[in-house]
Amino acid sequence: MGREDWLRSNRHLALAAEDLKKIEAASGSEVNFKCSFDQLVRGQARRFDDAIDAEFRPKLLALKDQGAPVQDGVSRADRVLETVVPFYGVYTGIKRGDYVTAYLSFISGVVTLIPPAVAAGKLMAVGKKALFLGIQVAIGSFARRGLLKGAMLGVQYAGAYARALSIGAHAMHTASTAIDALAPGASSLLRRSYKYLRPETLRKAAAGLRGKFPGLAARLRGRAGLLNTSGMKAPLWAKPRMAAPAVPAPGGVQAPFVRAVLDNGGTQWLQRFGTAYVRLDPYRLQPAGPVLLRASDGRLSPSLEISELTRNAVAGRAMLDLLRRTPVSADGTIAVDGKTFAFIAGDYVQVEKATPFAAGGPVPWRTVPARPTGSGPQAPSTAEISTLLVYDARQGGWVSQAHHSSFQADRIGHRDGTMLPDGIVARYRISEATLRQTLASAARSGDGTIMLGGKRYAEIGGDFLEVLPDRATSTRERPIWRIAGAPLPGTRDGGPRLVWDKGQAAWRKAETVPRLQGGGGKPGTAGAGSAVTRRIDADAVKDMADRIVINPATIKPTRIADTETVRLAKTILGEATDLTHYPWWDNELDQYLDFYVANLRTSAYAKVDPSLADPSNADRMEDRIVENMRRFLKDLYARSETFRGLANYARDNGILRKDLAWVMHIVAPDTLTNGTAQTSHRYHVTVRHPDAKKIVVPDVQAPPCWTPMAVNGETKLFGAVYDGGTVGPIASPATIVHEMMHFLTRMRDPDGSSLDRGVVEYLAQRVLQESGVTQARRLTYAGWSEKPDKENLRRIEHYVRIQDEYLSKLFPMTGPPAEAWNPSAGNDRWLTADTTQPAGSQTQP
């Protein structure tokens, strides 16, 4: 049974009318669409995956039995299914919450499936659920642009760089027209989705398109986008899931985006570039890094940088015709008119031998500039830097010498997390179109910069920044640069220092060049001069990636890597990797945070200490409370690697900004009794007005706090449930750290129906443990007034323990200090006070 036949016969397993009614009731407009994507893959719709799996089970059983885990939550079976089932990547991406993957899978499906389906009159074979979810992903990605514009923009992005698409323009136009036929208007699709996704309606749409474009339909007929994997010798998961043929098939349609599997089990989005691939920036949908060639074993090896290849490619038609007719020699070169050329990713570049080179090893070559160095406006002051290439047919052709197998190097050159944050690039990038075009065609100097008009520029991800030498930190061997127009590094809102990594041909933050690795060592503070990066041990969790745990709220099996806390913690800790102890936190904290004591004179403190009625005494008390908070936050930065990493990341990415006033409202308790506190205030991070934000937290020295809540007319005290099932109040330092995690990560707590801790509480516990604060482990975010039953407690404790085990292996932590730390020390008078008693019987200071 063919793919389309199977989908047609099983389309009843897609969204049912009941599902569509729920979506319609929740929709509203394309901007205010409230229906969660996760809701669309529950219930009957989940059977769709099971049916597909059963159809291909004989071919996938061996793969599943191997049980080799992958890092991003995609099973090997999923990877096979993504090659043969249209829009299957949309399902898996949405279920994992990976909307970038889901969206790009939708684009690939549109470009490769819809045009031939329209031509053949089989558009209904796509399946209601698949097409509906695909369009909804487009809404999620471009909500503010509207459905139709967003979907068409996605199709345009899909074909923008797909150079092998001989019918790319026709495919994009036909796909856009197909979406237009299905969605006459953004709001009408949501209101009348079932009508426009019924098979008979799709048949009429396809028939109308064939009548409107008969010539195009004839050319597209029979050109289905089904991938032929029969010629693949290596395991499918060891290569991009869509193969790159040596020569593009004449008139063939190939998906513009593919996924490559890294050696550590993770995946990376790639984009077709001629007959090769390039790394895809999934958020900007632009190519980046070197051209990647596919070897005979399916692995990818870097070749020339995109800019170097496009700048030096042969453009003359006569020379191109001659090169195509000239045979390639055994060493991979093409000799024409006394010159030597190399064929790379569909282009030809002139090359010459690089001297000197080691005898007995592969001969290195470098590109010859398309025009003599020094002509034109770029005129670099030093020799243009060229990538050294060696030819190896087994590795796909002309590959970078630094990544040739004889050098024992990794096959993928760029590593995630080494580039500048997008926020920094966007803030200082060159916006003038003419200058950008000139820089794009200019040559790069040996130090990585582009010199133009006496100024230096750095190319980062397709953007350009003007840079200046940072002479205070530069050496002859290692020049350091700073961004022109940005405040000096280390000063108020100072920009990062940049360094050119010749081996990876990329600009990186000078602070993140690996020298020391954090995690797993002894506790202690790092000196300001020691750069420290987070240690990530992906190998340590390979055996746990597919481990199943029971979600204590839904009582359903879930992969540990897919649980809410683990999934979000991997994202945050994987990005906040700079653990260096910088002086800016100590020296400039008051420039990022203002402190304000909100209610001292009406609080329980004033009831215990009558002297606070005197304004001068109250002012001194407020000053002490604020100073205690400052000292606590500074100590957290010094003691905890996790806190440092998040603070540094927040500053580098514009979350911490001196031009936005954040105010920390410190709230004293309303009631003190039995060594605990009660408050009517809600601790949270919120927006006070458009230009100022506030964080509401307790006093560092306040006793552990209960939250009183009315339940069925009765006031109950709610706290947290800890290991062993104990329900108790929450310590003030724990609450402050929890709210600071909200502040630094902008993440939310789980909803009320969840029994997960959430990433915010996990990070808070990690910070407290690294700092030496003795604190029982909080098991859930939800508040409790009484101990859970034994069975429920057992499930929750097991769930939390497995999460902690997984994350502590993936992101090793420093051990707790030898001496415990009590930030609330000195609060004895509050612990012994009881404001529920008459004033005369209260404990006095």
In the predicted structure, residue 811 carries a pLDDT above the cut 60: yes
Pure H helices in 85-198: 88-96, 99-120, 128-141, 147-160, 168-182, 186-191, 193-197
pLDDT > 70: percent of the chain: 55
In the predicted structure, residue 113 carries a pLDDT above the cut 50: no
Residue with more model confidence, 552 or 2:
552
pLDDT confidence of residue 145: 37
Please, what sign has the CA dihedral across residues 287, 288, 294, 299?
A: negative
- Across the chain, mean pLDDT equals 66
Q: Are 574 and 513 in contact (CB under 8 A)?
A: no
pLDDT confidence of residue 711: 67
In the predicted structure, residue 493 carries a pLDDT above the cut 80: no
| Tens digits of residue pLDDT in 585-636 | 988 888 888 888 988 989 999 999 999 989 888 889 998 999 999 999 999 9
Q: What is the rounded CA–CA span in Å between residue 174 and residue 115?
A: 6
pLDDT confidence of residue 762: 95
Q: What is the rounded CA–CA span in Å between residue 174 and residue 185?
A: 17
Q: In the numeric block, which tokens belong to residue 843?
A: 């404990």
pLDDT confidence of residue 641: 92
HSE, side-chain direction, 13 A CA sphere, residue 761: 24
pLDDT > 90: percent of the chain: 17
Q: Out of 175-184, 421-430, 478-487, 563-572, which region has the weakest mean confidence (pLDDT)?
A: 175-184
Report strand pairing: 705-711 vs 676-678: parallel
Q: Out of 165-169, 283-287, 398-402, 444-448, which region has the weakest mean confidence (pLDDT)?
A: 165-169
Residue with more model confidence, 518 or 221:
518
Q: Are 742 and 697 in contact (CB under 8 A)?
A: no
Q: What is the rounded CA–CA span in Å between residue 323 and residue 487?
A: 51
- Whether the bond between 356 and the residue before it is cis, its omega within 30 degrees of 0, is yes
Burial track 332-349 (b if 16+ CB lie within 10 A, e otherwise):
bbbebeeebbbbbbbbbb
pLDDT confidence of residue 148: 38
| Tens digits of residue pLDDT in 221-234 | 333 222 222 222 22
- Report CA 17 to chain centroid distance, whole Å: 35
Q: What is the rounded CA–CA span in Å between residue 731 and residue 9?
A: 59
